Structure 1
């Protein structure tokens, strides 16, 4: 397997993906399918499930024969954060090898040097879950920067977020003994909004804020919620590529 890409925006996206993953799990399992890079995993508390699909056309070069590897998520993320503006990222793996190779290569800037890394693979059992397609009660899209800022503020007042949706507004609320914060979002402030019945549900604000802490994946975040299913958070990366998170609701 080998892949490479040099676009600055895509390098930021790729690094941000693994920044989010390392906040959920210590080991990430990567499947290099023929037509896409695929990642699925879950945090140890089984509250958050993530699924990433990067189509082969998203990369400058993508060659694979269905290899699978598991690596330390923290180390992999730390390495990606070291790439410079003029570096292209090259990742390779030889079948039956016990390590993955990452190279940062520059062809223009004399101030940056080529850098190579090898990281050992982790031997761990991995089981893929079947993620069913479901009908959600409410779906909406909001600017990533706005959502990230709101969640950071709400987290000051509690670790649980209560969400109320109706045909006119979405209300986000967090509270504990130190106080309460409530944010009312009019439907007109959302780029997309569709709702059936009114909904009241609650989620871990700690997990939700982690999944929305970066604004580099996409300018907008798509949310889908229901009283019966985990919340779905979607980042559309284009070229048939996407990042999905599913967060289980709190049981009241």
Structure 2
């Protein structure tokens, strides 16, 4: 289920910089319900729930951010609508993590590797104190961009400088898999993924697997559905 985990970053953003009051308990519960619908791939219901939230709390950045992330899912893929929603979220919370991450994710999903790499790096530069899980995922996505641009020396440097096999995230193993897959070493790539599966729980690896699928670096996967016109 590609990109459903993006909303986890919305929740994380609440601990960073917020330019708006905390929503009511009712709205918070509805946001959580929307997240559960997204996890269950009930995307149309999630969009409808967001409309209900917006009617109760107009101008809430989380609504625009979640709606934007929904439009990035393969089932609803619409880059223009996603960009419009994420721009609204960023206008309300210009320093918050989630809208900025998702705007970088938009470039990643569009496979604009140079622009995605630059956006991810800016996120790392501007928010040096990112939580480990978010920082590693951001670095991993940047590494994928490097692989897709045939910058294998830089990808290897990213791996060496930022990840080890003893980390609390599977970034090291999935980075090895991404680099191997980029070099058409599918057996080696699968071996690294299998090693990660023995160490980390599925929930810890889901976002990394999503990124491999989305970038077509997971051995044997097909491209996601094209963008809606």
TM-score normalised per structure 1: 0.24
Structure with bigger gyration radius:
1
More strand by share: 1
TM-score normalised per structure 2: 0.26
